Amino acid sequence: MNIAAMKNSLTYLFFFWGAWLLMTVAAASVAQAWETDLLGEKYTMLQHKDEIHSISPLELKLIKEGFVDVQNLDPSILVDLKYARDDNFMGASAYGDFTRAYLRPEPSKMLVRASAILQERHPDLRILVGDALRPRSIQHKMWKLVVGTSKQHYVANPFAGSMHNYGAAVDVTLVNVRTGEKFDMGTPMDHFGPLSQPRLEEYYLQEGELTKEQIANRRILRSVMVDAGWHPLEIEWWHYDAFAKDVVRKKYSIIE
């Protein structure tokens, strides 16, 4: 067989192998896909078995850029995005239909590692994600609400960017899956006050405003996140960065 014939044979071989692989993956993951118009925007609808999911234009953009839905890696991780509801410090939903937790690939694997460590140490506990990737457009909304107030230093200036805007930070708490209850951490997530600050825990324990149990609960969360490589924030018990801020800014770009 001459070289030209060999090249043709290899071309056909790779073509048929690639076609078979694509059909196999498609059949295994999505039974049907179609586009629909919702409120003037194009949404991709994916049907898998008996479930139908809508993928917003923003989510399609994130997936194309390599972001990961953390529940696709570890379904035991719970997700309830704080800013997709109205019971937050803004008193309104900022995310609309954006309700899934997306992270960069490396941070998403770190969160899965933290989940595994937690379940090994405490089988009845699960990580609940309250925020993950936060597009900078949302950061602008949050900033406008707090700028000039006592809460300003709890929200990153959108011009510099939050680690959430890079897809390299999470807000997390713990849930007992036997009871369905969130752990008592002394304050709710996004409580912008001194009681939420890990650096002041011992002070507020002495003052009687935090209990030993609440601090112990925070330490369970902190230990598994730190052991998985996450960096805690000293003013918010729920916030963790995947890397130091200067590293994040070098590795990643902001999602607008």
**Contacts for 193 with CB less than 8 Å, ≥ 6 apart:** 187
171 is in an annotated binding site: yes
164 is in an annotated binding site: yes
Amino acid at 174: L
Whether 236 is catalytic: yes
Strand-pair partners of 172: 129
Residue 107 is given by DSSP the state H
153 is in an annotated binding site: no
Strand-pair partners of 181: 176
List the structure tokens of 201: 């825990």
Instruction: Give the SS3 label for residue 250.
Output: helix
Strand-pair partners of 78: 128
The closest alpha carbon to 102, from 168, 188, 173, belongs to 168
Q: How far is CA 255 from the centre of its chain?
A: 14
Catalytic one of 51, 234, 236, 256: 236
Instruction: Give the SS3 label for residue 78.
Output: strand
Q: Residues at the annotated binding site for Zn(2+)?
A: 164, 171, 239
Q: Which residues are marked as active site?
A: 236
Q: Residues at the annotated binding site?
A: 164, 171, 239
